[in-house]
Each structure stands twice: as structure tokens, then as C-alpha cells.
Amino acid sequence: MSDRATSPAYTVPVTRLTVSILVHTLEQALAAAARAAEAGADLVEFRIDLFADNAARVIELVNRSALPCIITCRPTWEGGQYDGDEQARISLLEHVGLGETGGASGGRRPAYIDVELAAYQSSANLRQKIGLVVDHPGQVRPTDTGLILSSHDFKTRPADLYQRIEAMVAAPACRIVKVAWKARSLRDNLEAFDILRQKHKPAIALCMGEEGLASRVLAKKFGAFLTFAALDAGSGTAPGQPTVDQLKRLYRWDRIGPATRVYGVIGHPVGHSMSPAVHNAGFDAAGHDGVYLPMPIPPEYEHFKATVGSWVDTEGLHFRGASVTIPHKENLIRFVKDRGGMIEPLCESIGAANTLHVRDDGSLLAFNTDFAAALDAVCDAIRINRGDLRGKRVAVIGAGGAARAVVAGFASYGATVVIYNRTMEKAQALAAQFDGKNVRAAFGGGKVVAARLDKLCDSCCEIFINCTPIGMYPNINETPIPVTEMKSWGPETVVFDTIYNPIETRLLREAKAAGCVTVSGVDMFVYQAKEQFWEWTHAEAPLEVFRAVLAKKLARG
């Protein structure tokens, strides 16, 4: 049977991209199905929970749909919105497609109808009536409309998950097995992939919520029967559904296959990260068979270790690396150490790594692309080599994580670094750590000292680097440096703001007006992504693509 009986040229895709539509009116649902077809979906699911009072209209919906469809009338007791009579619901499904006379109005049948396992198990009437046709006494065959038996848990992974699956597999009328549950962590996705790999029957195994995104995007990699998408943000029918546009464009659905390599950004929170947009666009431009996902992991090391460890160890997942951000930069170093992997030496003295590479042989490498990115952003702006930084005077404002990488990087190349920070003790501790030591030996290590923040105006440095969040969105009217009081600033001064949102901070705007050379945090972001990209793909990063993606995302706010 084909999904699309009306189109002989139509070839059934391996994993159907399915847009789920909550039906309010006939015209709204038909328009949504037409948009789903335009957006590149293969199937639509009509959720008729609120539209189940008139079978003729449901049949009309099936007949006029731009795409083959699944009909689902989800009752409230399974997380849906239908609260009517159960017998009426079953009669409707039988009439629409799952009975012998289904699609009785003479038109198309739905390609599939979804019925909950619990309803199927508890009703002998239902088991007799739907999904199977009696051709001759004693001879049954499935109806043309395929029966999806489904089971959902919106709170957690059900303890009897595998019993539920076995029951579906054993049901003769069940064409497709569907299980969906709320992911407790990223690890639950791995169980969904296992279920898909068992292949007793075509299967749908999805994890709900932010942690379940991988099961939705990688459904195609593991040969799921389908994945669900929302037509627009906010119109999803289950927690964590990406939009069809995100699946198609951001996560490159059409390119995903069994060998696709998986990468991600590990953080908490991580939903705001620009890295998925940047790296996926980069993979696309470079023709790299990879997909890059947000990977939220709670802050504690035990979570990091268990989750990242299980992703690294899962054969066939091809998890090959991650960008690692707050609060996991220290955890990454500990994890790679625990596993006997390699840690870039400067990254150890910085105490933070931002990149994990899982090599094809399973060995691990942790490194830090932030300091190299800061160096390259400044050197490119003034057209010098890193070696030319020797003897330059650099003022770093802030003494947190970003400042640490910046101080280590510039001191490694022989610059003299002065750290200005609100909390003087932190500036002093940072200076003590990198003053002529703990840096790359090649250039001997520049002098690193701490100074009082209120002395910044008297600074005789030629490069100023903001490593505080002052001026970052939404506090865009703030500035860490009173530019009007910086009497020495002019064309020889370089002002670098590590903040990238907004692209031009108040500090950079005022520094530009004072004639200084300005460097945006976007450059640092682009360069740190470039180093990661090279390590993972051995392809030159498409920097203009990175910049364009960032500019577009930042323009949206």
C-alpha cells in the first residue's frame, strides 16, 4: 500500500516527515495540510480531538487533504483533548477508515489511524472491529488503512515500556508500533534508538520535551517509521516537537542517513545557543555528513559523565564531538581525564575546555578554542601575526571564564597583560596564575599583573578587551569603559568586546567614534567555531556562512 494512493509516481520515503495538526475547522486543517505539503512534509497527522462530532466532515478532510494522512482522536486520558464518549470515538474511527466499510463515502481512506494501546487492550469490541477485515470466515487481513497502536507517557519513561511494545508487536491488526514518553535526560534518546533498531514492526519511538529532541531529529538515522513536526512554533501537538522548517533547514532532515555523524552543544541552559544554526549551516556548505544538536545536561559532573559517556559509547550513533559551554567547561576536562583521553596543555592551565572531539577510534580529545579565537580576532583586525603580539600591552576587563582564556592566550604570545576587575582579589589570583608561567612556552610568557578597576582610565595599554557581560543584551545601554575619559584612545587603540549580542555594543560604538579599531565578539564566536569545525571535519570553515547565520539570528533578537 502506498501512502498516497492518488499519485503513482510517489515513492514512499524511508522515514516520513509528518506534520501534526490540531484540527479546529475543516478549512483551517486543509490550509495547514497544504502548507505542510509546501514545506516538504510527507504525511500529516490530523488530530481530530476537537473535531470528532461529525464523521462526514472528517471523511471530507481526508478526501481533500493535500497529503496522505493519519487520523488521531486522542482522548484526555492519554494526554489528548477528546473528552466525549468512548464508543462514539471508536465508531468514528471505524467509519472513517479502520472498519470493513471505512471511507464509506467512496473517497480516499486515511493512510493510517492511531489508536491507543490501552483502548485496544481494554475493549474486545474495538479489537474485533478495527484494523482487520474478514474476507471469508476464518480469513482476516489488515484494512487498507494501517493501524498505529500507540502509547504515551507525558511524565516519565513508563516502567513497562517493553511490555507495551511487545503487546503492540503481538497484536495482529497493528501495522506500526508507537511509543512516546517524556525524556528524563538525553540518555532516554538512546533507548528510543534501540527500540527502532529492533525492527519487529515499523516503529515510532519518540522522547518528549527539550531532552528528547535527538529522538525526533535522528529518527531518520535509525529508520523510524516517521517523526512528527509542528507547522509553526507554538502549534505543536506534543512537548518538544520541532517545526517542519527547523527539521528541514536547521537540522538538514533530507541529508540525515544511517552514517550521519552527530555533534552538539552541551550546556545548561542551552536553548538560546547560536551554535546549532552556525555548525549545521557549516556542515551544509562543506558537504559534511553531520548534524549538530542542542544537548542540555544538568550542571553536576555525575550528569555530564553519565550522559556524555553513554553517547560516546553508543555504537551506531556516531557521536563525534561537542561544543561545551557554561556550566560544563571544567566537567569536560575531568571527563576526558577520567577516560584517559588527551587534554590540550593550555586548556588544563586555563581550567576550562570548550570542545570535545571523539575520534573514529573512540579516543577523546578536549581543547579550548576560546583563546585562539580571541587572538585571531585581534590579530586579523590589525593584520598582524600572533608572534607580533610580543611586547604589546593588553588590558583585560573582567576575571571570569572568558578573561581566563584571553589572558592565557595573550600571555602565551608574550604580550603584557593588565587585568582590571571589580573584585580585585580575583584579578590578582588570575594574574598570579599566568604571570610568566602556565602558558605556551614558545614565546616565553608575557608579564601579567592586576590593577584597580578605577585606574582603567590611566591605562597605557594599546589593546582593550571587555570580558564582562556589561553591555550585553538586554542591558545594551551599559558600558564597562567610560570612553570619554579614555584620553589616550585613538587610531592606534584596539577595542575588542567579547560580547556578541548585540553585534555592536555601546562600547564598540563609542570606541569607533573615538577613532579606535574595533573588534566584535562575533569575530571571536566565529573563530572559536572555526577551530571546532576544522577539528571535527578537517574542512575549512565557511566563515562567511557562519557570519551570515549569526547576523540573521542576532537581527531577530
The residues annotated as belonging to the active site are 152, 178, 329, 370
Is residue 171 within 8 Å of 120, Cβ to Cβ? yes
Pinpoint the alpha helices (H) of 488-542.
506-513, 521-537
CB of 238 vs ligand NAP, minimal distance in Å: 34
Residue 395 bridge partners (DSSP):
418, 464
Report the C-alpha gap between 496 and 508 in whole angstroms: 8
Phi, psi of 423 (to 5 degrees): -95, 105
Is residue 432 within 8 Å of 406, Cβ to Cβ? no
Please give the C-alpha separations between residue 38 and each of 33, 195, 395, in angstroms, as whole numbers.
9, 31, 54
Q: Which is nearer to ligand NAP, 49 or 370 (CB)?
A: 370
- Rounded to the nearest angstrom, the gap between the alpha carbon of residue 147 and the centroid of all alpha carbons in its chain is 32
Cell numbers at residue 109, please? 481512506
Q: Which is nearer to ligand NAP, 371 or 536 (CB)?
A: 371
CB of 425 vs ligand NAP, minimal distance in Å: 9
Q: Which is nearer to ligand NAP, 247 or 499 (CB)?
A: 499
261-267/290-296 β-pairing? parallel
Nearest to 195 by CA among 234, 164, 171: 164
CB of 472 vs ligand NAP, minimal distance in Å: 5
Per CB under 6 A, residues contacting ligand NAP are: 370, 398-403, 421-423, 426, 467-470, 472, 498-500, 521, 524-525, 528
Q: Which is nearer to ligand NAP, 62 or 403 (CB)?
A: 403
Nearest to 537 by CA among 332, 261, 325, 315: 261
Cα 514–Cα 520–Cα 524 angle in degrees, nearest 5: 145
CB of 411 vs ligand NAP, minimal distance in Å: 16
CB of 378 vs ligand NAP, minimal distance in Å: 12
- Look at residue 348 and give its three-state secondary structure: helix
Q: Which is nearer to ligand NAP, 73 or 419 (CB)?
A: 419
CB of 517 vs ligand NAP, minimal distance in Å: 17
Q: Which is nearer to ligand NAP, 142 or 327 (CB)?
A: 327
Report the C-alpha gap between 5 and 97 in whole angstroms: 14
Is residue 221 within 8 Å of 258, Cβ to Cβ? yes
CB of 491 vs ligand NAP, minimal distance in Å: 24
Pinpoint the alpha helices (H) of 98-186.
117-122, 124-129, 161-170
Report the C-alpha gap between 234 and 243 in whole angstroms: 9
Report the C-alpha gap between 312 and 273 in whole angstroms: 22
Cell numbers at residue 274, please? 547560536
Cell numbers at residue 152, please? 504515551
Report the C-alpha gap between 329 and 340 in whole angstroms: 17
CB of 426 vs ligand NAP, minimal distance in Å: 4
Q: Which is nearer to ligand NAP, 207 or 373 (CB)?
A: 373
Residue nearest to ligand NAP (CB): 400
Is residue 267 within 8 Å of 326, Cβ to Cβ? yes
Q: Which is nearer to ligand NAP, 439 or 499 (CB)?
A: 499
CB of 543 vs ligand NAP, minimal distance in Å: 14
Q: Which is nearer to ligand NAP, 171 or 352 (CB)?
A: 352
CB of 551 vs ligand NAP, minimal distance in Å: 14
374-386 CB burial, b ≥16 within 10 A, e <16? bbbbbbebeeeeb
Report the C-alpha gap between 239 and 392 in whole angstroms: 53
Kindly give, in sequence order, each residue whose CB lies less than 8 Å from that of residue 348, ignoring residues fewer than 6 positions away. 333
What is the 8-class DSSP label of residue 75?
A: B
Is residue 208 within 8 Å of 181, Cβ to Cβ? yes
10 Å CB burial of residue 223 (0-12, 13-18, 19+) is middle
Cell numbers at residue 269, please? 541552559
Q: Which is nearer to ligand NAP, 403 or 431 (CB)?
A: 403
